[in-house]
Homo-oligomer: A and B are copies of this chain.
Amino acid sequence: MAAPNPVDAKALAALALFAALPPAVAEEAATMARARALPRGMRIFDQGERAGRAHALLSGCVRITQSGSDGEEILVRFIGPGEIFGCVPVLTDGLYPADATTMVDSLELSWDPADLLALMQRHSQVAINMVAIVGKRLGEAQERLREVATQSAERRVARTLLRLLDQAGRQTDDGVRIEFPLRRKDIADIAGTTLHTASRFVAGWGRQGLLATRHHHVIIRSPDQLRILAEEPPG
Protein backbone atom coordinates (compact mmCIF):
# COMPACT_ATOMS: atom_id res chain seq x y z
CA MET A 1 0.00 0.00 0.00
CA ALA A 2 2.83 2.40 0.85
CA ALA A 3 4.75 3.68 -2.13
CA PRO A 4 8.51 3.78 -1.63
CA ASN A 5 10.50 6.98 -1.64
CA PRO A 6 11.60 9.15 -3.34
CA VAL A 7 8.67 11.52 -2.97
CA ASP A 8 8.67 14.33 -5.47
CA ALA A 9 10.04 17.46 -3.79
CA LYS A 10 8.25 19.66 -6.29
CA ALA A 11 4.92 18.33 -5.08
CA LEU A 12 5.90 19.34 -1.56
CA ALA A 13 6.71 22.89 -2.59
CA ALA A 14 3.05 23.28 -3.59
CA LEU A 15 1.93 22.83 0.02
CA ALA A 16 1.12 26.03 1.89
CA LEU A 17 3.10 24.55 4.76
CA PHE A 18 6.31 24.98 2.78
CA ALA A 19 5.59 28.37 1.28
CA ALA A 20 8.42 30.93 1.38
CA LEU A 21 11.01 28.26 2.04
CA PRO A 22 14.14 27.30 0.10
CA PRO A 23 13.80 24.13 -2.03
CA ALA A 24 16.28 22.38 0.22
CA VAL A 25 13.73 22.28 3.02
CA ALA A 26 11.07 20.78 0.77
CA GLU A 27 13.58 18.10 -0.20
CA GLU A 28 14.36 17.44 3.41
CA ALA A 29 10.66 17.02 4.08
CA ALA A 30 10.35 14.81 1.03
CA THR A 31 12.93 12.33 2.26
CA MET A 32 10.95 11.86 5.46
CA ALA A 33 7.54 11.67 3.83
CA ARG A 34 5.60 8.59 2.89
CA ALA A 35 3.24 8.71 -0.08
CA ARG A 36 0.09 6.65 -0.30
CA ALA A 37 -2.69 6.24 -2.80
CA LEU A 38 -6.03 6.04 -1.02
CA PRO A 39 -9.22 4.64 -2.49
CA ARG A 40 -12.48 6.54 -2.30
CA GLY A 41 -14.35 6.15 0.96
CA MET A 42 -11.32 5.14 2.99
CA ARG A 43 -11.12 6.12 6.63
CA ILE A 44 -7.69 7.69 7.16
CA PHE A 45 -7.97 8.12 10.90
CA ASP A 46 -10.56 8.06 13.66
CA GLN A 47 -11.47 10.64 16.26
CA GLY A 48 -9.75 9.93 19.56
CA GLU A 49 -7.17 7.64 18.02
CA ARG A 50 -3.47 8.18 18.77
CA ALA A 51 -2.06 10.52 16.08
CA GLY A 52 0.42 8.18 14.43
CA ARG A 53 1.03 10.33 11.35
CA ALA A 54 0.74 13.96 10.22
CA HIS A 55 -0.93 14.30 6.83
CA ALA A 56 -1.01 16.39 3.68
CA LEU A 57 -3.17 15.93 0.60
CA LEU A 58 -1.64 15.99 -2.88
CA SER A 59 -4.78 15.22 -4.85
CA GLY A 60 -8.38 14.24 -4.25
CA CYS A 61 -10.37 15.34 -1.26
CA VAL A 62 -10.89 14.40 2.35
CA ARG A 63 -13.85 14.99 4.66
CA ILE A 64 -13.12 15.87 8.28
CA THR A 65 -16.01 15.16 10.64
CA GLN A 66 -16.43 15.40 14.37
CA SER A 67 -18.98 13.47 16.34
CA GLY A 68 -20.13 13.87 19.91
CA SER A 69 -20.91 11.23 22.47
CA ASP A 70 -24.54 11.27 21.36
CA GLY A 71 -23.69 10.47 17.76
CA GLU A 72 -24.55 13.89 16.38
CA GLU A 73 -21.91 15.00 13.94
CA ILE A 74 -20.75 18.02 12.02
CA LEU A 75 -18.56 18.35 9.01
CA VAL A 76 -15.59 20.31 10.24
CA ARG A 77 -14.08 20.98 6.82
CA PHE A 78 -13.10 19.63 3.45
CA ILE A 79 -9.44 19.17 2.74
CA GLY A 80 -8.41 19.85 -0.85
CA PRO A 81 -5.11 19.38 -2.68
CA GLY A 82 -2.20 21.19 -1.05
CA GLU A 83 -3.79 21.31 2.41
CA ILE A 84 -2.54 19.62 5.56
CA PHE A 85 -4.70 17.73 8.04
CA GLY A 86 -4.27 15.81 11.25
CA CYS A 87 -1.13 17.82 12.02
CA VAL A 88 -2.18 19.79 15.08
CA PRO A 89 -2.30 16.88 17.54
CA VAL A 90 1.41 16.40 16.87
CA LEU A 91 1.88 19.48 19.04
CA THR A 92 -0.94 19.11 21.52
CA ASP A 93 -2.38 16.00 23.11
CA GLY A 94 -1.43 13.53 20.43
CA LEU A 95 -5.01 12.46 19.69
CA TYR A 96 -6.83 13.10 16.43
CA PRO A 97 -9.73 15.45 17.20
CA ALA A 98 -11.91 14.23 14.33
CA ASP A 99 -12.45 11.55 11.68
CA ALA A 100 -10.90 11.81 8.21
CA THR A 101 -12.34 9.99 5.18
CA THR A 102 -11.49 10.25 1.49
CA MET A 103 -14.38 11.30 -0.72
CA VAL A 104 -12.68 10.34 -4.00
CA ASP A 105 -9.53 8.42 -4.87
CA SER A 106 -6.75 10.50 -3.36
CA LEU A 107 -3.01 10.80 -2.91
CA GLU A 108 -1.61 11.74 0.46
CA LEU A 109 1.75 12.35 2.04
CA SER A 110 2.36 11.69 5.68
CA TRP A 111 5.12 12.09 8.24
CA ASP A 112 6.08 10.57 11.48
CA PRO A 113 5.06 13.13 14.13
CA ALA A 114 8.59 13.24 15.53
CA ASP A 115 10.04 13.95 12.10
CA LEU A 116 7.63 16.80 11.46
CA LEU A 117 8.33 18.24 14.88
CA ALA A 118 12.08 18.06 14.25
CA LEU A 119 11.61 19.74 10.89
CA MET A 120 9.71 22.56 12.53
CA GLN A 121 12.40 22.91 15.16
CA ARG A 122 15.15 23.16 12.54
CA HIS A 123 13.20 25.50 10.29
CA SER A 124 11.13 27.97 12.23
CA GLN A 125 9.44 29.15 9.05
CA VAL A 126 7.67 25.79 8.78
CA ALA A 127 6.24 26.29 12.26
CA ILE A 128 5.32 29.87 11.41
CA ASN A 129 3.51 28.73 8.27
CA MET A 130 1.62 26.25 10.39
CA VAL A 131 0.50 28.97 12.79
CA ALA A 132 -0.81 30.89 9.79
CA ILE A 133 -2.70 27.85 8.48
CA VAL A 134 -4.19 26.91 11.83
CA GLY A 135 -4.92 30.56 12.62
CA LYS A 136 -6.84 30.96 9.40
CA ARG A 137 -8.92 27.90 10.21
CA LEU A 138 -9.57 29.23 13.69
CA GLY A 139 -10.90 32.44 12.18
CA GLU A 140 -13.16 30.47 9.87
CA ALA A 141 -14.44 28.32 12.71
CA GLN A 142 -15.28 31.38 14.78
CA GLU A 143 -17.08 32.96 11.89
CA ARG A 144 -19.13 29.80 11.38
CA LEU A 145 -19.85 29.75 15.09
CA ARG A 146 -21.29 33.22 14.91
CA GLU A 147 -23.34 32.34 11.88
CA VAL A 148 -24.81 29.18 13.36
CA ALA A 149 -25.70 31.06 16.54
CA THR A 150 -27.27 34.10 14.94
CA GLN A 151 -28.38 33.56 11.35
CA SER A 152 -31.25 31.78 9.67
CA ALA A 153 -30.77 28.34 8.17
CA GLU A 154 -31.32 29.74 4.68
CA ARG A 155 -28.48 32.24 4.95
CA ARG A 156 -26.19 29.59 6.39
CA VAL A 157 -26.82 27.18 3.56
CA ALA A 158 -26.20 29.95 1.04
CA ARG A 159 -22.97 30.95 2.76
CA THR A 160 -21.87 27.33 2.93
CA LEU A 161 -22.13 27.00 -0.83
CA LEU A 162 -20.33 30.29 -1.37
CA ARG A 163 -17.50 29.23 0.90
CA LEU A 164 -17.13 25.93 -0.92
CA LEU A 165 -17.16 27.85 -4.17
CA ASP A 166 -14.22 29.88 -2.92
CA GLN A 167 -12.36 26.83 -1.74
CA ALA A 168 -12.92 24.56 -4.71
CA GLY A 169 -14.87 26.34 -7.42
CA ARG A 170 -13.86 25.85 -11.06
CA GLN A 171 -15.36 27.68 -14.00
CA THR A 172 -17.13 25.52 -16.56
CA ASP A 173 -19.25 26.53 -19.53
CA ASP A 174 -22.28 25.74 -17.39
CA GLY A 175 -21.41 27.84 -14.32
CA VAL A 176 -18.95 27.44 -11.47
CA ARG A 177 -18.63 23.86 -10.32
CA ILE A 178 -17.68 22.83 -6.78
CA GLU A 179 -15.00 20.18 -7.13
CA PHE A 180 -16.08 18.15 -4.14
CA PRO A 181 -18.74 15.46 -4.38
CA LEU A 182 -21.47 16.94 -2.20
CA ARG A 183 -24.54 15.20 -0.83
CA ARG A 184 -27.32 17.23 0.72
CA LYS A 185 -26.34 15.73 4.05
CA ASP A 186 -22.84 17.18 3.66
CA ILE A 187 -24.21 20.63 2.99
CA ALA A 188 -26.49 20.31 6.00
CA ASP A 189 -23.65 19.15 8.25
CA ILE A 190 -21.50 22.12 7.32
CA ALA A 191 -24.32 24.64 7.57
CA GLY A 192 -25.41 23.24 10.90
CA THR A 193 -28.92 22.20 9.96
CA THR A 194 -30.73 19.03 8.93
CA LEU A 195 -30.71 17.17 5.64
CA HIS A 196 -34.36 18.08 5.10
CA THR A 197 -34.04 21.78 5.70
CA ALA A 198 -30.95 22.05 3.51
CA SER A 199 -32.66 20.08 0.76
CA ARG A 200 -35.65 22.41 0.80
CA PHE A 201 -33.53 25.47 0.14
CA VAL A 202 -31.23 23.88 -2.41
CA ALA A 203 -34.18 22.39 -4.27
CA GLY A 204 -35.88 25.78 -4.29
CA TRP A 205 -32.82 27.48 -5.70
CA GLY A 206 -32.52 24.75 -8.29
CA ARG A 207 -36.08 25.45 -9.43
CA GLN A 208 -35.16 29.11 -9.81
CA GLY A 209 -32.24 28.12 -12.02
CA LEU A 210 -29.78 29.52 -9.53
CA LEU A 211 -27.86 26.26 -9.34
CA ALA A 212 -27.98 22.64 -10.43
CA THR A 213 -26.83 19.25 -9.14
CA ARG A 214 -25.32 16.54 -11.29
CA HIS A 215 -23.53 13.43 -10.16
CA HIS A 216 -23.22 14.71 -6.59
CA HIS A 217 -21.62 17.90 -7.80
CA VAL A 218 -23.18 21.31 -7.33
CA ILE A 219 -22.89 23.82 -10.15
CA ILE A 220 -23.63 27.40 -9.24
CA ARG A 221 -25.09 29.30 -12.16
CA SER A 222 -25.39 32.71 -10.55
CA PRO A 223 -23.12 33.24 -7.57
CA ASP A 224 -24.37 36.82 -7.30
CA GLN A 225 -27.94 35.75 -6.61
CA LEU A 226 -26.65 33.38 -3.97
CA ARG A 227 -24.57 36.15 -2.49
CA ILE A 228 -27.67 38.28 -2.11
CA LEU A 229 -29.45 35.48 -0.25
CA ALA A 230 -26.42 35.09 2.00
CA GLU A 231 -26.27 38.77 2.91
CA GLU A 232 -29.83 39.82 3.10
CA PRO A 233 -32.39 39.02 5.74
CA PRO A 234 -35.12 36.93 4.13
CA GLY A 235 -36.97 39.04 1.59
Q: Which residues of A does B touch, CB under 8 Å?
A: 66-70, 72-74, 76, 88-89, 91-92, 97-98, 117, 120-125, 127-128, 130-132, 134-139, 141-151, 192-193, 231, 233
From residue A102, how far is it (CB to closest CB) to chain B in Å? 20
Q: List 12 A-B residue pairs with CB atoms under 8 Å apart, sorted by A's residue number.
A: A67-B146, A68-B146, A69-B231, A70-B150, A70-B233, A74-B142, A76-B142, A76-B145, A91-B135, A92-B136, A127-B127, A137-B138
- Give Cα A123 to B74, complex, Å: 37
Set B91, B151, B193: member contacting A131, Cβ < 8 A: B91
* CB contact between A134 and one of B66, B138, B150 (< 8 Å): that residue: B138
Instruction: Decide if A147 touches B68 in the complex (CB within 8 Å).
Output: yes
Distance (whole angstroms) from the CB of A40 to the closest CB of chain B = 25
Give CA–CA (A73, B193) in the complex, Å. 20
**Complex-state Cα separation, A192 to B69, whole angstroms:** 20
Q: How far is the CA of A231 from the CA of B69 in the complex (A)?
A: 9
Q: Considering only CB atoms, which chain B residue lies closest to A191 in the complex?
A: B149
**Chain B residues with CB under 8 A of A122:** 124
Taking CB atoms, residues of chain B closer than 8 Å to A130 are 127, 131
Closest B residue, CB atoms, query A156: B149
CA distance A142 to B98 in the complex (A): 10
In the assembled complex, the Cα of A147 lies from the Cα of B88 at a distance in Å of: 21
Q: Are B128 and A92 touching (Cβ within 8 A)?
A: no
Complex Cα gap A233–B121 (Å): 46
Report Cα–Cα, A89/B139, bound state, in Å: 10
A112 vs B132: C-alpha distance when bound (angstroms): 17
C-alpha spacing A101/B116, complex, angstroms: 37
B121 and A74 contact, CB distance less than 8 A: no
Minimum CB–CB distance for A87 against chain B, Å? 9
CA distance A71 to B97 in the complex (A): 32
